[in-house]
Structure 1
Amino acid sequence: MFSLAFQHVLSLKNILCIVDSATSWLYSRAPSVRSVTTYLMEPAGETGSDYTLRKMMVLDSQTGHSRLLSSPASLRRRDHLFRDYLFKCCDSSEALSCVAYGEQRVAVPLRDPGGRALGVVDLSCGQQGALRPHERRDLQGMVRMVQAACCQLLRETSGLARPSRLLEAEGAGGEERVALLFLRFMLEDLRGCVRRLDHQSFAELKSYKDPPPVVHQVLRAVLLMLHPHWEETPEIDRWSQCRLKVNSDLVRKVLHFDPTARSVQVEREDLEACLAGIPRGEVWKHGSLPAEHLYNWVSVCLSLLEQAEKLRQSREPAPSNSDTLQKDPPRPPTKQQEGT
């Protein structure tokens, strides 16, 4: 009985970790999202009574990550009529949009493998209105991958599935693997999207003699991820050279690239600067499917690079006292020593 309770608590903790990774990714790409709050469902404790929603974490706009609440408050349906949309989302296990407290909100359910709701993620878009088209698309992609990651995790916990590993950094297992799981599913999905592109799709990119800046920048970022030593070289800075790299070899490298591998020597700051110059909305407006998939691939790879670096740093042993203690400064020579 204790082991089942412990397993349940651990599963919920891991689900919150996945949601944190997912909402952080979305927040960095969707400026319309102003706040994110995550609730988990709990029995009300009374026989035949309704469930409650426990407010577990909120997004910190300064860090872009969610913060676990030390004293989570419980919401009962009858006491929070203006938050009834959260309960409706859990009841139907379907996402819904509404206006509450004068703000446009989107409620997204967290589901178990059977499709039943475990909780809900509440996103506020402020008073500006609905999400932009590309932000809505990113939200839909995030929801699909959160669902896939949570289902995989719960199946593994219950013994219905074996842990499957796609990335080198997943080999550590445990909490470190959970921290990567959402981004790993995103990467796997994007690999599938690139794989399904036909030759005609890539021929569109190669056909440009003078491409829109966003197309060149996206391809430049992809090549910089795969070949960091090409930084500030004609290989990526000149379009005439850059477009020659769009071939089956590029696709093969994209499909097999593991950004968490220790062998990867990418300057993350250079890539971040490169991506910062590519507005997400401009990629969407351009309407190029290859550019869209490749932009998302670089973005997810960059997030995985950052996460893998953090995990490696957390495993490094802390300096011992002997390493941190400063040696006493040398004493000045005595008069007797000066005379010898």
Structure 2
Amino acid sequence: MSAPVLSVRHLTKSYSSGGGLFGRPRTARVVDDVSFDILRGGAFGLVGESGSGKTTIGRLILRLVEADAGEIRLDGEDLRATSEAELRRLRRRMQIIFQDPFSSLDPRVRVGEAIAAPIRLHGLRKGSGVTDRVVELLELVGLGAHQIRRFPHEFSGGQRQRIAIARALAVEPDLIVCDEAVSALDLSIQAQVVNLLAELRARLGVSYLFISHDMAVVRHVATHVGVLYAGGLVEIGDASAVFGDPRHPYTRMLLAASPSPVPGAERQRRAIEGEPPSPFETIAGCRFASRCPLSIDACRVRRPPLSSWQNGAHEAACIRADGLERLRLLADEEERMSATYRLRLGLLRQARAERRNG
């Protein structure tokens, strides 16, 4: 296996809250001992509910926010130990696509100039070569040369996000952080942008950190997945393993709450009950225990570490491996009972119709 383009180890971030006139200062730990790798040319999906710490991790990696502890290495270079001058050089290799395509572009700047600016800044092209490169990038994301002099307000949301993608690609990065990059778009446009990102990864070999709360989107784009809950990873592994055989109850609940990946398939979506713990709260045991249908007393005493399956290709932080199997059986039984109920209801309606017509 090739060396990862990005390696994150034991990343931690806390924020302090002033206590006011009489209150005591409090500390909120929003990222807690997070570790993962992103392979060159791979797409690592970081998924979890709002407030789980996903966006903070993306900003820590880019050093838009400084971490309290941990290592962030880009091709072996420790980003946290680099000087400002070295960081400017390395930032060319790391770009970000923000969630809101309407605020990520300056409304006063034509799109051609918005894409050309980083090319000139890093000296990647000169003279007419800059314009040629801008046209090439616009065509790469499905737009055209005739749109180079238009302003952002003349484009739809999906087109603006394509422009943001072109701007991110302008400096030929190794890694792009996609921070909820499609969540503000309509469903049909989401699919187009996700397909575009997948095509660009295959064509250019660029790597993604794909941050999202939507398991259906992550399933489509990610090669590896990390499931984040209350600042910590509860499951991580190959996408096929995480989606095909989820080992943590939280992952199973996220999947049950998402639309079916099979077009036209009927499935009753189940909302996740309860609320995640406050980041100000110190929890000795499993963070998910208060919402978990399988929790036992031991879950509230000791926080389970990530344990591996499939020779380390799949890890989950849960002490109830047997309980996970029981949860699967319960879910299967519920599906069977639901199917039986629908069958009986159909037969009853058919019998009533026959009596009326007979």
Q: Give the TM interval when normalised to the shorter protein.
A: under 0.3
Greater Rg by CA? 1
**TM score, norm. by length of structure 1:** 0.26
Higher relative contact order (CA 8 A, sep 6+): 2
Task: Write 1 or 2 for the structure with the bigger share of helix.
Answer: 1
